Amino acid sequence: MRKDLYSNFAVVQAVASGSKSDAADGADVDLQGFYSALFVVNTGTISGAGDFTFKLQESDEEGTGYEDVAADDVIGEAPDTMAATSAYKLGYRGSKRYVRLAITKAGGTSIQVGAVAILGHANQAPVA
């Protein structure tokens, strides 16, 4: 049987790309049918010394009950402060059904940021 990477993972928008001037929670990413997730964060311009970072949060229920993911369930580290025009990744290996990216603000004006979640190790492949 012939395999290819394209057919073996799904991509979900985790944070709509745009200017963020405050803390923001990303979209609920449903992991049903997948055993792994990788979040890829992409930044653009930073205005007014914007000081932002991000973290992963998880929940058993969609839209509610989110808590920070335990360090043992995160692969990689978020930067203390995101840099302009940079890319970052964080892996999730927890057991909750829903996970999201939370952007936090320590100061400054704004940052251009967006993110996708790459869902892998599907229960059934190929992934549509």
Q: Could you give all domains of the chain from N- to C-terminal order, each with its CATH number?
A: 6-122 (2.60.120.1110)
pTM: 0.93
Asked if 53 contacts 81 with a C-beta cutoff of 8 angstroms, the reply is: yes
- Reply yes or no on whether the pLDDT at 1 is more than 90: no
- Reply yes or no on whether the pLDDT at 4 is more than 90: no
* Closest C-alpha to 51, from 80, 26, 77, 15: 80
Residues 45-64 pLDDT 10s: 999 999 999 999 999 999 99
Give the DSSP letter string of 57-85. EEESBTTB--EEPPGGGEES---SSPPTT
The phi and psi torsions of 104 (rounded to 5 degrees) equal -115, 150
* Predicted local distance difference test score (pLDDT) of residue 2: 62
Residues 90-124 pLDDT 10s: 999 999 999 999 999 999 999 999 999 999 998 88
